[in-house]
Each structure stands twice: as C-alpha cells, then as structure tokens.
Amino acid sequence: MRITDLINKKSVSLDLYADNKMKAIEKLVDLVNNSGNLNNKEEYKSAIIDRENMSTTGIGEGVAIPHAKTKAVDNPCLAAAICKEGIDYESFDGSLSHLFFMIAAPDGANDTHLEVLSRLSTILMDEEFRNDLINAISVEEFIDLIDKKESEKFPESKPKPKVQAKKSGETKYPKVLAVTACPTGIAHTFMAAESLNKTGKKKGVSIKVETNGSSGAKDILTKEEIEHAECIIVAADKNVDMARFNGKKVIITKVANGIHKADELIERASKGDAPIYNHSGDSATQENNDDETALRKVYKHLMNGVSNMLPFVVSGGILIALAFLFDNYAIDPKNFGSNTPLAAFFKGIGDYAFGFMLPVLAGYIAYSIADRPAMVVGFVGGILAKEGGAGFLGALLAGFIAGYLVLGLKKFFSFLPQSLDGIKPVLLFPLFGTLLIGVIMTFVVIPPVKGINDGMVAFLNGLGGSSKVVLGLVLGAMMAIDMGGPINKAAYVFGVASLDAGQFEIMAAVMAGGMVPPLAIALATTFFKNRFTKEQQESGKVNYVMGASFITEGAIPFAAADPLKVIPACVVGSATAGALSMVFGSALRAPHGGIFVIPVVSNPLGYIAAIVIGSVVGMVLLSILKKPLDKQA
C-alpha cells in the first residue's frame, strides 16, 4: 500500500481557509468525509480533538498531521490541504501551518497503513518537496508529487542499511545509535528518525535509528550494534526498552528535539558528550530527563498547581469584586461587600470559590509529583495551611511535601503482595498520607510559615507610597523580562499570593506590567511600520488582542527575533505601567482577565492610564532602538 492509495481526489483542497485551529479541523474532517470512509463524522471529529488535547499535531516546519484511530472509520484514508496564508495550529516551533494531512485509521484494523503514513512524515522533512506541494496548481499535480517523492525515497528494492562492509571484510557498526518514539507512533517518531539520519549523513557520522511506531519497532538495534556504539540517543516521549543500554553513554531527550535539535544531538553523541546510563534493574523504562534539572521539575510541579488553581481564583475574585461594586458602603462600612442582598449573594459564592484556592494548589502540585493517590493528601495539606494561617506559602509547601510523602509510601508498601495492589491507592496511601501530612503541617510547617506569612503581610501593609511604587516598578519589569518564563512566572505567583494576603494593588501592578509588551509591539507595528516587515506588521495586529487579554507571550516572536531591542523597550514600558498602577492606587482581586476585569478594578481610569502610558513608552523606545529597515546595514 502506497501513500497515494489512501488519498481520494475529493479529499484534497489546494485553497483551504480557516481563521483558527478548530475551524481548520472542521474543514479537514469534511475533506475526510468526502472520501466516503467515515461512518460517523462527529465521532471521528471528537477523536481528532481528543488527540489534539493530548498534544498538538502541528509538527513544525509549516506542517500539521492531525490523526485519529477510531471505530468511526471504515477504511484507512488520508485528506490533504494547503493554506498559503498559514493557520496557527499551535505548532511546536511556533510557525504557521501551510500543509495539512489528516489521517483516518479504523479501530482494530491491521497497521499496514501506518507504515505507509510514516513514509509521509519522512518525505515531508524535505523543504523543497514541501514548497513544491504548496505551489501545486492542481490536485493531480499534488498527488503526483507525493507519488514521485515516495518512489524516490522508498524504492521497492531498497536494501536495508543494517550493516556496512569494511575493506577488511569485517562488519562495520554504526558509531551512533538512536531510538525515536512518540505517544501515537505515527508522525513525530519517523520525522525525528529522518532528521537524525539526514544530519548524521551531513556530518559524516554513521548512525542507525530504531523507530518505535504504532506498528511496532523497526530497524531494531542489535546486541552487537549496541555493544560497539560510542553513544546512543533516545529521543522519546514514551517509555522504551532501556535495560539493553546499561553501561553505555546515553542522551535521553524529547522526540521534538530529535526533529528540531538533531544537529546538536549528533554533535554531542559523536563526541561522546553524554552520561553513562545505569539501569536500576526494577524497570525496563526511562524518563525523559534531558534538560530536566531538579529545578525545572520543581517549576513544572508548581505550574501544575497554579494552572489548576487559577479558575477558582479568577471566578471567586471577580464575584467578590462585583459584590463591592454593587454594594452600598454607607449602609454599614464594616460590612461593606455584604450590605445588600445582591452584594451578599455575589460575596458568598465568591468566597466559596476563592476558598478552594489553597487546597487546589497543594492538591495538584502533589498530583503532579505522585499521581492521583497524592491528590487527597495535598488537598488536606492545603486546607490545613489555609485554616492554620500559613497561607499561600504553606499550601505550596504542603503540595510538595504531600507529593514526595506519597512517593515514599509507595516504596514503603512495595513489600506487600501484588494481590493487595488494589487497596493501596484507595486505602493505604490516602490514610497514612493524610495522617502524616496532618502531623507535619500542624507541628512542623504551619508555626514557622505562619510567622513568615504574618511578617510579610505586616511588611506589605507598612509600605509607604514611594516603596509601593518601587515594588510596582520591579514587578512590572519582571513580567516583561522573559515574557512567560520563570522570572515572569515568579512575579505572577507573587501577585497571586498577594491576593491571599489582601494586597490587591500588587496583583494590579503585575497584570498591568504583563499587558504592556504585546500592546507596545502592536502599537509600534502600527505607527512605525518601516521598522517591521510586512509579515511582522500583520502579526502585530494580533498583539492588540493578546495584550488586552493579558497574554504576555504574544510578544515572544518579536523578542526572539530581535531581543537586544525588543526586550529593553518592553521592560521599561512594563516597569512604567507597574509603577503608575501603584501611584494611582489601583487594586485588582482577579489574577487574570486583562481589560475584561477592568470594571472591577478600583480606580479603573487610572489603571487604564497606567497601561496606556506604559504601552506608549514601550512603543516609543522600541521605535528609537529599531532603525527603519531600509536604513539598516
């Protein structure tokens, strides 16, 4: 079966247009349905969306290969489409997608078609070939290009390059070995393999790549090849057999790095720049730990807690803010926020939602560390921190303690017979974990953390006008330095923590600082067009929406393209906005929302002025730092 055997002319579009990823999916599903191979279009669409929710199938280099295997498909088929304008398909490399191939595979069928589809992933690594497809003027030419490329890349009589003969007649083993694998085993697995093979050939490094695809492992590494290899690259997002690599130099990384960082990986492997892998003996799997430092793991666990906590804080904070907006202060100043029935209604619901903030933070940090059994232990630790006055910091510590506590319990109870595995997650781990977290939080964590927390609140309450302005300036600048990175997140987490401490002005300064970078860039691309390319001018328009919605990351493509000019301009603009927000005394109870929560900001006009002034300052500075394109050397 060849690639073209799966393509129906009715399932090819050379002029696909869609405003966003979801609309693109809908149109691609329609193309698949045109082939007559679907028995339930909506069920197939749901399967595609479920796959996208796992991770994007925008594989980069302008290509997206959405796919699903489901009983809604009668026969394997393939839809293809071209969008010359490009669609934001949330690709790994941030590029717009121009080439789309949607795969439909029947559930329970043999996987012959998957091998054919792996070929598609491989041939799409050729940039010239991709450009030829995009510029095809007819469906027939499009399909013919694929057919010719497949014949060129996979001739029927192509010998397997398993071994090469030395002049002496002895077997020559590859210097570098590699294993690629992704969760679905269709696209990224084979693209990573192709990228590593091409890079190895370009650098003159002999390499053999084993692919762990949906239809099983191909080009499996032999015992002799592993024994003679100087280094092994494991580019995988799922577990692969690692016991065979014990004692060898191994680079363990993500499958995406096999595609986009093949040059770096081959360079490291050829120099033997890798640690010796020591297999533990209790598992035949590995974790993707390349570039995964202990600090990075802690950061990921923290962000898991924060991201799951935010909906509670956003909804609760806005409802509480609405309560103050609709209340009458004159009735009873001490009861402001609950004087009228409507205000009391909003305040009550908001308090309940907001009250989940700390337990959810701790619960999901623990869940990230030790999976579901740790969640209840984290929740209990979080509520103890809340009730004990340890606040945000106490809940944060509770989450990490709960997670690693459950990991310890898993090891402690590993001696029990396998027949008792079923009661561990529902009885032993929650029972002993909850008891231990209660003891640790009550007697070890809460007393000192409550003291620290009370001291921080007293310090913040004691800040005078000038001190608050400096704090706003620093936090605003931090929001723009790495635009969504660790420094940005540190400032943001501090802002969220300040909500629990009752310091609502801090959250306002943080949000103002985070809104400025994309808004400054949007203004610059509008009023100083000669500093930007046509493509950047178009992208700049999107930043109006991104900035207004408090999505600082909208500025990242511009910062990455010209960091020495864009980042300083944005930092100064954000620092200005953060400082002015403090000067105007603006306060915000919601940790997100951008312009949509301005109605519940205290002194909204001053807050808008702070954001506008900061954005204009950033725009002006950026226009000074960036020279007109036609005058640049």
One-character DSSP codes across 178-229: EEEE-SSSSSHHHHHHHHHHHHHHHHT--EEEEEEETTEEESPPPHHHHHH-
State the pairing for strand pair 216-218/207-213: antiparallel
Known catalytic membership, residue 67: yes
Known catalytic membership, residue 77: no
Residue 629 Cα to chain centre, angstroms:
33
Q: Which of 501, 497, 468, 458 is nearest to 586 (CA)?
A: 468
What confidence category does residue 452 fall into, taking pLDDT thresholds of 50, 70 and 90?
confident
Taking each helix axis from N to C end, the angle separating 604-625 and 504-527, rounded to the nearest 10 degrees, works out to 40
User: What is the pLDDT averaged over residues 549-565?
Assistant: 80
Residue that the structure tokens 């078609």 belong to: 113
User: What is the pLDDT averaged over residues 176-185?
Assistant: 77
Backbone angles phi, psi at 14, to 5 degrees: -100, 0
What confidence category does residue 239 fall into, taking pLDDT thresholds of 50, 70 and 90?
low
Domain spanning 3-153: CATH superfamily: Mannitol-specific EII; Chain A (3.40.930.10)
Q: What is the pLDDT of residues 59-97, one digit of tens each?
A: 878 888 888 888 898 888 899 999 988 898 888 777 888
pLDDT value of residue 381: 96
Handedness of CA 591, 592, 594, 595 (dihedral sign): negative
What average pLDDT does the structure give for the chain?
Answer: 84
Q: Which of 300, 305, 352, 368 is nearest to 496 (CA)?
A: 305
Handedness of CA 326, 331, 335, 339 (dihedral sign): negative
Q: Domain extents for the chain?
A: 3-153, 170-271, 294-449, 465-631
Q: State pTM to two decimals.
A: 0.51
pLDDT value of residue 285: 40
Q: Which helix (H) or strand (E) holds 35?
A: none
Three-class SS state of 489: helix
Residue 376 Cα to chain centre, angstroms:
26
pLDDT value of residue 282: 37
The residue type of 67 is H
Tell me the range of 99-113, 256-270, 424-438 where mean pLDDT is highest.
424-438
State the pairing for strand pair 97-106/63-64: parallel
Half-sphere exposure of 198 (CA within 13 A, CB side): 18
**Alpha-carbon gap, residue 344 to 331, rounded angstroms:** 13
**Alpha-carbon gap, residue 83 to 91, rounded angstroms:** 15
For residue 283, is pLDDT > 70? no
**Alpha-carbon gap, residue 134 to 148, rounded angstroms:** 16
| Burial status of residue 107 (CB atoms within 10 A of its CB: 0-12, 13-18, 19 or more) | exposed
Q: Which of 42-56, 279-293, 522-536 has the lowest mean pLDDT?
A: 279-293
CA 280, 283, 288: angle at the middle one, nearest 5?
Answer: 85
What confidence category does residue 178 fall into, taking pLDDT thresholds of 50, 70 and 90?
very high
Q: Which of 67, 188, 260, 592 is catalytic?
A: 67
CA-CA-CA-CA dihedral for 70, 75, 76, 79, to nearest 10: -100
Q: Which of 83, 182, 231, 570 is catalytic?
A: 182
What confidence category does residue 166 fall into, taking pLDDT thresholds of 50, 70 and 90?
very low
**Alpha-carbon gap, residue 225 to 176, rounded angstroms:** 9
Q: Which residue has the higher pLDDT, 140 or 556?
A: 140
CA-CA-CA-CA dihedral for 319, 595, 312, 443, to nearest 10: -100
Output the CATH code of domain 170-271: 3.40.50.2300
Altogether, the residues listed in the chain come to a count of 633
SS (H, E, C) 308-376: HHHHHHHHHHHHHHHHHHHCCCCCCHHHCCCCCHHHHHHHHHHHHHHHCHHHHHHHHHHHHHHCHHHHH
